Structure formats: C-alpha cells, structure tokens
A = this chain, B = another copy of it.
Amino acid sequence: MTTIPGPIDPPTRLLMGPGPISAYPSVLRAMSAPLVGQYDPFMTTAMAQTQELYRGVWSTANDATLLVDGTSRAGIEAALVSLIRPGDRVLVPVFGRFGHLLAEIAERAMAEVHTIGTAWGQVFTPSAIEEAIERVRPAVLAIVQGDTSTTMNQPLDELGAICAKHGVLFYTDATATLGGNAFEADEWGLDAATAGLQKCLGGPSGSAPITLSDRAVALVQSRKKIEAGIREPGDPSAPDFVRSNYFDLGMILDYWGPRRLNHHTEATSMLYGARECARVLLLEGRDAVIERHRIAGSAMLAGVEALGLAVFGDVAHKMNNVVAVEIPEGVPGDAARAALLEDFGIEIGTSFGPLHGRVWRIGTMGYNARKDAVLTTLAALEAVLARFGAVVPTGGGVEAAAGVYAGAA
C-alpha cells in the first residue's frame, strides 16, 4: 500500500539564491485560477494577451513572441534545435556553466560546435567575439546573457551589428537576466532569445518565454513538417525538418498563430502564471523593475562587502540580481547555508564547477528584489557567520545596504 501524505504545505522560505526565487503573491494566485478549454475564446485571448505582454518584457515588435511549455532549458532547446540544421557551425562563447549548456544542446542538435573561453568571472569583448566569428564563420552565435554560475552579465548591445555584418543568426539565453537587467531584443538585433520565469520574472519554473525575429521565423518555417494525423493536402513537409516534434517552433507558431493548429495542449496554469509575471512587471514599469533590481543588487553588494566578504568576479559586469561571495576561511559553507535555511528560513545558493565549495551565490530578484528581503538576509548572514567563528562587524552589512537604499531614495 502506498502511504498517502497530506496536502502540499511548504514551509515559509525567503529564496535569496540564484533562482528559483519566491514568486510574486499575485502569480501564485493566478496559478490556481480555474481551467478553460484550449480553444475557448477566453484561452486564446489569454494567449494573445500573454504574447503582447512579453513583447513589452522583451522590448520587441516580434510577432513570434510566445511561450514554450517547459523549463528555461526547454526554451533553449526549442530555439537551438529549430534554428540549427545538422552540420551547421555554431559559435558559443563560454563564460560559465550555462555556456557549456548551450554548446551541449547545440552538439546534441548535431551542430559543429566551436567554443571560445574566458576565465570564470569575466565577460567577452565584442572584438573577441567578432574575431571568432571571422575565424569560425558560424551560422549561429549562441551566447548566454547572464550566467548565474559566475554572476556575469555579458554585454550584448554591440553583438547584433557584428552578427548582421557577418550574416550570423544571433541567439541569447536571458533566463537569468530578463526583467532584472537591460534587455532590448530589437535594438540589440537579436534573432532569438529565451528565458524562464523562476528568476527576475518572479514566477515558478515551467514556462519558457521566447521571441523570434522575422528572419528566425523564416528559417523555422522553411523547415516545417506538419505532423501526420493533422496534416492536410498542401501542408509543407520539409526534408530537413526539425528533429524534435515537441520543440518544432514551426508547429508551435501555428498553434499560437491564427491557424490555431493543434500541437501540445497549452499548459493552462503555467500560462496564467507567465501572463501574471509579465503583467506585474509592466504594471510597475519595465525600467522601474530593472532599477529596483539594480538598487537591490547594489545594496546586497555593499552589505556583503561591509561584512568583510570578498566578491567573486568582475563586479563591473555583474548581473544586478546575483552576487557571488567567497566563503570565509574556516567557515563550513554547506553547514552555514543549512543554518540559514533551518534557523531563518532563508535560502542562499551553492555553486557549480570550479567555484563549488568556494563561493556562495546570493540573489535579489523578482519579488525578492526588496529592501526588507535584502536587509533580513544580511542580518541573518551576519549571525550565521559569527556563529561559525568568522569575524564580522556588527550590523555592518545591514547598515551598508540600508545606506544604499537611503541614497537611492
């Protein structure tokens, strides 16, 4: 017999790691709204509203702005598998774990993958990327905007012109950055960009916003193969069709577009949540939300520095919404994180790869890019550091952060 547990009843957590983070209360409320049928006029209207809201979030006029039903890496895979033809050369500048992920996904899509690297904690100059483009002559440039593994925010604003000059499709993964850092899909010349809800957008993981330029759409449509069972005479069936049905953006576009051709059954509750994430962002104002993230990030940075913690990486290129701090000598990193979680209900993050066991990552994003969340985290962190024997100036972290807020007011 299966033992049947009680209804889900999560403990109260202040999620101050690199994501997922605590969702906006109104997003959680939206998740519990009653379901409707997938072709109900209410549903198709909600889908169209969600598309329009995300045009505002991405700063784009792209008609092809929609959701992929899966986590942020589902969005990445949908973009790459639909844009990359087997054998295509793809250039991936890697500055952290998620650069490796883009290379990995491109490799599985049978691309000829070329990477360039830099030290963890650094970003690339536009000229380093252009030099690599001239050498590799890729069909696609795939680059992460913000890599939470290093906290770095790769400047993208000059890359679109470089890609256009060399006839390269320009894709970025903005999962970690969108909504908390500048993003200008059209102005920066992006052909494709994807994200997730569980970072600055303040929602649950499980839906991946995506936007595609007309050039990307034309490529995707040229590879379209409408599945048997709903294919009609005259429907296309390209020989170089996308090697995934679920991630075939051509079919997904037909589902979201006026033809409303059945593909998957849209994840209704996740759509409600994604719609609300964009709605609260645009109600507050996109620039205001980014500024709120900038201030929260500055306050957290000032706070951890005032606690005497060394900050990892090139701070000038840090994302607004996450900071990596070196774990002080003698402090057991995992035990200290566990104490924060158990005694204060506050979660901060560990790290991957070369930084594992060396740094903690502290996030200030979405709903939690708030003064009370920043100050509470710093007060608890001070207490835990002191408990484990680190020498910390009493109240220094909180006061330094409060000072940033006072200066910004």
Contact = CB atoms under 8 A, between A and B. Distances in A.
Interface in A73-109: 73-74, 77, 81, 96-101, 103-105, 108-109
Given A33-B28, A205-B268, A269-B269, A229 B353 contact: yes
Contact of A34 (B13, B77, B243): B13
Contacts of A5: 49, 53, 279
Given A5-B49, A77-B244, A11 B23 contact: no
A21 interface: yes
Interface residues of A, number: 95
A128 B39 CA distance: 37
A35 interface: yes
Interface stretch (A132-140, A270-278, A296-304): A270-278
Contacts of A109: 243
A227 B101 contact: yes
User: Interface SS of chain A: helix, strand, loop or mixed?
Assistant: loop
A77 to B, nearest CB: 5
B26 A352 contact: no
Interface string A218-235: 000000000111100000
A196 interface: yes
Contacts of A279: 4-5, 7
B11 A42 contact: yes
Interface of A: 2-5, 7-13, 15, 17, 19-23, 26, 28-38, 40, 42, 46, 49, 52-53, 55-56, 69-74, 77, 81, 96-101, 103-105, 108-110, 149, 196, 198, 204-206, 227-230, 241-247, 262-270, 272-273, 275-276, 279, 282-283, 341, 347, 352-353
Pick the 3 closest A-B CB pairs, nearest first: A206-B267, A100-B229, A32-B32
